[in-house]
Amino acid sequence: MAVGIFDSGLGGLTVLNAAQQRLPDVDFLYFADSAHAPYGVRDAQNIYELTKAAVTQLWDSGCNLVILACNTASAAALRRIQEEGVPPGKRVLGVFVPLIEALTERQWGDNSPPREVEVKHVALFATPATVASRAFQRELAFRAIGVDVEAQACGGVVDAIEDGDLILAEALVRSHVDALKRKMPDPQAAILGCTHYPLMEQTFQDALGADVQVYSQGALVAESLADYLQRHPDMIGEGAGGYLTTGNPARVSDRATQFLRRQIRFDAA
Protein backbone atom coordinates (compact mmCIF):
# COMPACT_ATOMS: atom_id res chain seq x y z
CA MET A 1 0.00 0.00 0.00
CA ALA A 2 1.41 3.41 -0.94
CA VAL A 3 0.87 7.13 -0.61
CA GLY A 4 1.77 9.13 -3.70
CA ILE A 5 4.21 12.03 -3.55
CA PHE A 6 4.57 14.23 -6.62
CA ASP A 7 7.13 16.86 -7.55
CA SER A 8 8.25 18.49 -10.75
CA GLY A 9 11.73 17.12 -10.06
CA LEU A 10 13.83 16.08 -7.10
CA GLY A 11 12.91 18.74 -4.54
CA GLY A 12 10.07 16.63 -3.19
CA LEU A 13 12.64 14.12 -1.99
CA THR A 14 13.08 16.41 1.03
CA VAL A 15 9.43 15.77 1.89
CA LEU A 16 9.68 12.08 1.04
CA ASN A 17 12.73 11.59 3.24
CA ALA A 18 11.04 13.23 6.23
CA ALA A 19 7.83 11.26 5.62
CA GLN A 20 9.72 7.96 5.45
CA GLN A 21 11.44 8.71 8.74
CA ARG A 22 8.18 9.72 10.42
CA LEU A 23 6.10 6.89 8.89
CA PRO A 24 8.45 3.92 8.42
CA ASP A 25 5.55 1.46 7.96
CA VAL A 26 4.01 3.38 5.04
CA ASP A 27 5.13 2.82 1.46
CA PHE A 28 5.49 5.85 -0.80
CA LEU A 29 5.33 6.06 -4.58
CA TYR A 30 7.35 9.08 -5.69
CA PHE A 31 6.74 10.66 -9.09
CA ALA A 32 9.26 13.17 -10.51
CA ASP A 33 8.21 14.94 -13.71
CA SER A 34 11.86 15.56 -14.50
CA ALA A 35 11.28 15.83 -18.25
CA HIS A 36 9.32 19.04 -17.68
CA ALA A 37 11.20 20.51 -14.70
CA PRO A 38 11.34 23.19 -13.54
CA TYR A 39 7.69 24.18 -13.22
CA GLY A 40 8.45 27.57 -11.70
CA VAL A 41 8.92 29.26 -15.08
CA ARG A 42 5.80 27.74 -16.73
CA ASP A 43 2.36 29.36 -17.00
CA ALA A 44 -0.53 28.31 -14.77
CA GLN A 45 -2.39 26.34 -17.47
CA ASN A 46 0.67 24.30 -18.37
CA ILE A 47 1.43 23.61 -14.70
CA TYR A 48 -2.15 22.46 -14.18
CA GLU A 49 -2.06 20.10 -17.17
CA LEU A 50 1.25 18.51 -16.16
CA THR A 51 0.23 18.20 -12.51
CA LYS A 52 -3.17 16.70 -13.30
CA ALA A 53 -1.58 14.09 -15.59
CA ALA A 54 0.93 13.05 -12.91
CA VAL A 55 -1.65 12.93 -10.13
CA THR A 56 -3.97 10.84 -12.31
CA GLN A 57 -1.15 8.36 -12.98
CA LEU A 58 -0.51 8.04 -9.22
CA TRP A 59 -4.22 7.50 -8.56
CA ASP A 60 -4.30 4.87 -11.32
CA SER A 61 -1.28 3.19 -9.68
CA GLY A 62 -3.32 2.57 -6.53
CA CYS A 63 -2.53 5.67 -4.46
CA ASN A 64 -5.66 6.97 -2.74
CA LEU A 65 -3.82 10.02 -1.41
CA VAL A 66 -1.39 12.15 -3.41
CA ILE A 67 0.72 14.88 -1.83
CA LEU A 68 1.83 17.69 -4.13
CA ALA A 69 5.34 18.09 -2.73
CA CYS A 70 5.79 21.00 -5.11
CA ASN A 71 4.82 24.50 -4.07
CA THR A 72 4.44 25.65 -7.66
CA ALA A 73 1.95 22.85 -8.39
CA SER A 74 0.19 23.49 -5.07
CA ALA A 75 -0.11 27.19 -5.93
CA ALA A 76 -1.14 26.87 -9.57
CA ALA A 77 -3.03 23.57 -9.83
CA LEU A 78 -4.26 22.19 -6.50
CA ARG A 79 -7.40 24.25 -6.06
CA ARG A 80 -8.48 23.70 -9.67
CA ILE A 81 -7.98 19.92 -9.42
CA GLN A 82 -10.01 19.83 -6.21
CA GLU A 83 -12.79 22.06 -7.56
CA GLU A 84 -13.14 20.01 -10.74
CA GLY A 85 -13.68 16.93 -8.62
CA VAL A 86 -11.53 13.91 -7.81
CA PRO A 87 -12.42 10.22 -8.21
CA PRO A 88 -14.37 8.63 -5.34
CA GLY A 89 -12.09 7.64 -2.49
CA LYS A 90 -9.17 9.71 -3.81
CA ARG A 91 -7.59 12.87 -2.37
CA VAL A 92 -4.90 15.34 -3.39
CA LEU A 93 -3.31 17.71 -0.86
CA GLY A 94 -0.70 20.44 -1.08
CA VAL A 95 2.20 21.57 1.10
CA PHE A 96 1.17 25.10 2.09
CA VAL A 97 -1.04 23.84 4.92
CA PRO A 98 1.64 22.71 7.40
CA LEU A 99 3.68 25.89 6.83
CA ILE A 100 0.75 28.15 7.59
CA GLU A 101 -0.25 26.03 10.56
CA ALA A 102 3.25 26.47 11.99
CA LEU A 103 3.48 30.18 11.21
CA THR A 104 0.06 31.08 12.64
CA GLU A 105 0.06 28.48 15.43
CA ARG A 106 -3.46 27.35 14.59
CA GLN A 107 -4.88 24.17 13.12
CA TRP A 108 -6.12 24.06 9.54
CA GLY A 109 -9.62 23.18 10.67
CA ASP A 110 -9.76 26.29 12.86
CA ASN A 111 -12.29 28.46 11.02
CA SER A 112 -12.32 31.31 13.52
CA PRO A 113 -11.70 34.84 12.17
CA PRO A 114 -8.14 35.87 11.31
CA ARG A 115 -6.15 37.08 14.30
CA GLU A 116 -2.87 38.77 15.00
CA VAL A 117 0.17 36.53 15.35
CA GLU A 118 3.58 37.08 16.87
CA VAL A 119 5.51 37.10 13.60
CA LYS A 120 4.88 40.35 11.69
CA HIS A 121 7.56 40.39 8.97
CA VAL A 122 7.92 37.28 6.81
CA ALA A 123 10.24 36.65 3.89
CA LEU A 124 8.94 34.20 1.29
CA PHE A 125 11.45 32.56 -1.04
CA ALA A 126 9.76 30.70 -3.89
CA THR A 127 9.75 30.05 -7.63
CA PRO A 128 8.56 32.80 -9.98
CA ALA A 129 5.26 30.95 -10.59
CA THR A 130 4.55 30.54 -6.87
CA VAL A 131 5.31 34.19 -6.21
CA ALA A 132 3.09 35.29 -9.12
CA SER A 133 0.17 33.19 -7.84
CA ARG A 134 0.13 34.95 -4.44
CA ALA A 135 -1.36 31.68 -3.13
CA PHE A 136 0.66 31.75 0.07
CA GLN A 137 -0.43 35.31 0.91
CA ARG A 138 -4.06 34.44 0.12
CA GLU A 139 -4.11 31.39 2.38
CA LEU A 140 -2.26 33.23 5.14
CA ALA A 141 -4.77 36.11 5.04
CA PHE A 142 -7.59 33.68 5.91
CA ARG A 143 -5.89 32.97 9.23
CA ALA A 144 -3.75 35.93 10.26
CA ILE A 145 -3.84 39.73 10.12
CA GLY A 146 -1.07 42.26 10.34
CA VAL A 147 1.56 40.07 8.68
CA ASP A 148 3.79 41.74 6.10
CA VAL A 149 4.97 39.20 3.51
CA GLU A 150 7.79 40.12 1.15
CA ALA A 151 8.20 37.58 -1.65
CA GLN A 152 11.42 36.93 -3.55
CA ALA A 153 11.31 34.95 -6.79
CA CYS A 154 14.42 32.75 -6.76
CA GLY A 155 15.09 32.22 -10.43
CA GLY A 156 17.75 29.66 -11.32
CA VAL A 157 18.00 27.91 -7.95
CA VAL A 158 15.89 24.89 -8.88
CA ASP A 159 17.74 24.47 -12.20
CA ALA A 160 21.10 24.52 -10.42
CA ILE A 161 19.96 21.96 -7.84
CA GLU A 162 18.50 19.68 -10.52
CA ASP A 163 21.78 19.92 -12.44
CA GLY A 164 23.74 19.04 -9.30
CA ASP A 165 25.60 22.38 -9.35
CA LEU A 166 25.39 23.19 -5.66
CA ILE A 167 28.11 25.86 -5.86
CA LEU A 168 25.97 27.84 -8.30
CA ALA A 169 22.88 27.17 -6.19
CA GLU A 170 24.59 28.57 -3.09
CA ALA A 171 25.68 31.69 -4.97
CA LEU A 172 22.15 32.24 -6.29
CA VAL A 173 20.63 31.79 -2.83
CA ARG A 174 22.95 34.44 -1.36
CA SER A 175 22.07 36.79 -4.21
CA HIS A 176 18.32 36.30 -3.72
CA VAL A 177 18.61 36.80 0.05
CA ASP A 178 20.49 40.05 -0.56
CA ALA A 179 17.73 41.19 -2.93
CA LEU A 180 15.04 40.32 -0.36
CA LYS A 181 16.83 42.17 2.43
CA ARG A 182 16.98 45.32 0.32
CA LYS A 183 13.17 45.24 0.36
CA MET A 184 12.74 43.89 3.92
CA PRO A 185 15.91 44.54 5.92
CA ASP A 186 14.82 42.76 9.11
CA PRO A 187 12.56 39.75 8.49
CA GLN A 188 11.58 37.82 11.60
CA ALA A 189 10.90 34.58 9.74
CA ALA A 190 11.64 33.10 6.34
CA ILE A 191 9.56 30.59 4.43
CA LEU A 192 11.39 28.25 2.07
CA GLY A 193 8.48 28.00 -0.33
CA CYS A 194 9.91 25.34 -2.63
CA THR A 195 10.71 21.79 -1.65
CA HIS A 196 14.08 22.06 -3.40
CA TYR A 197 15.20 24.82 -1.06
CA PRO A 198 15.69 22.72 2.11
CA LEU A 199 18.73 21.30 0.32
CA MET A 200 20.10 24.85 0.66
CA GLU A 201 18.62 25.53 4.11
CA GLN A 202 21.94 26.21 5.82
CA THR A 203 22.90 28.64 3.06
CA PHE A 204 19.61 30.49 3.50
CA GLN A 205 20.10 30.55 7.29
CA ASP A 206 23.67 31.83 7.04
CA ALA A 207 22.70 34.57 4.59
CA LEU A 208 19.67 35.64 6.62
CA GLY A 209 21.38 35.53 10.01
CA ALA A 210 20.90 33.40 13.08
CA ASP A 211 18.08 35.58 14.47
CA VAL A 212 15.74 34.76 11.55
CA GLN A 213 13.57 31.66 12.02
CA VAL A 214 13.63 29.57 8.84
CA TYR A 215 10.58 27.40 8.15
CA SER A 216 11.38 24.37 6.00
CA GLN A 217 8.67 22.01 4.80
CA GLY A 218 9.93 18.46 5.17
CA ALA A 219 9.33 17.77 8.86
CA LEU A 220 6.21 19.96 8.97
CA VAL A 221 4.59 18.12 6.07
CA ALA A 222 5.58 14.72 7.47
CA GLU A 223 4.00 15.46 10.84
CA SER A 224 0.84 16.79 9.21
CA LEU A 225 0.66 13.68 7.00
CA ALA A 226 1.04 11.39 10.02
CA ASP A 227 -1.87 13.14 11.71
CA TYR A 228 -3.99 12.96 8.53
CA LEU A 229 -3.36 9.23 8.02
CA GLN A 230 -4.20 8.51 11.65
CA ARG A 231 -7.58 10.15 11.07
CA HIS A 232 -8.03 8.69 7.57
CA PRO A 233 -6.33 5.27 7.48
CA ASP A 234 -8.26 4.36 4.32
CA MET A 235 -6.12 6.90 2.46
CA ILE A 236 -3.19 4.49 2.52
CA GLY A 237 -4.03 3.02 -0.85
CA GLU A 238 -3.13 -0.13 -2.70
CA GLY A 239 -0.11 -0.64 -4.88
CA ALA A 240 3.61 -0.76 -4.22
CA GLY A 241 6.00 2.03 -3.38
CA GLY A 242 8.88 3.09 -5.57
CA TYR A 243 10.26 5.90 -7.71
CA LEU A 244 9.01 7.01 -11.14
CA THR A 245 10.31 9.72 -13.45
CA THR A 246 9.44 11.12 -16.86
CA GLY A 247 13.12 11.94 -17.32
CA ASN A 248 16.16 9.75 -17.82
CA PRO A 249 15.93 7.15 -15.02
CA ALA A 250 19.69 6.62 -14.73
CA ARG A 251 20.47 10.33 -14.53
CA VAL A 252 17.62 11.05 -12.10
CA SER A 253 18.68 8.08 -9.96
CA ASP A 254 22.23 9.44 -9.74
CA ARG A 255 21.02 12.88 -8.69
CA ALA A 256 18.58 11.44 -6.14
CA THR A 257 21.28 9.22 -4.65
CA GLN A 258 23.51 12.29 -4.35
CA PHE A 259 20.77 14.31 -2.62
CA LEU A 260 19.65 11.67 -0.12
CA ARG A 261 23.06 10.02 0.30
CA ARG A 262 21.54 6.58 -0.13
CA GLN A 263 20.89 4.42 -3.17
CA ILE A 264 17.74 5.45 -5.05
CA ARG A 265 16.61 3.81 -8.29
CA PHE A 266 14.02 5.45 -10.51
CA ASP A 267 11.99 3.67 -13.17
CA ALA A 268 10.46 5.22 -16.26
CA ALA A 269 6.95 6.59 -15.63
Which residues are the active-site residues?
70, 194
Of 72, 13, 66, which is closest to residue 42 (Cα–Cα)? 72
Asked if residues 135 and 194 have their Cβ atoms less than 8 Å apart, the reply is no
Distances, alpha carbon 159 to alpha carbons 27, 59, 67, 163, 218, in Å: 29, 28, 22, 6, 20
CA dist 269 and 267 (Å) reads 6
CA 71 to chain centre: 4
Nearest residue to 54 (alpha-carbon basis) of 35, 71, 75, 41: 35
How many angstroms separate the Cα of 241 from the Cα of each of 5, 181, 265? Answer: 10, 42, 12
Amino acid, single-letter form, for residue 264: I
With residues binned 3-state (H G I as helix, E B as strand, rest as coil), the percentages for the chain, rounded to 5, are 50, 20, 35
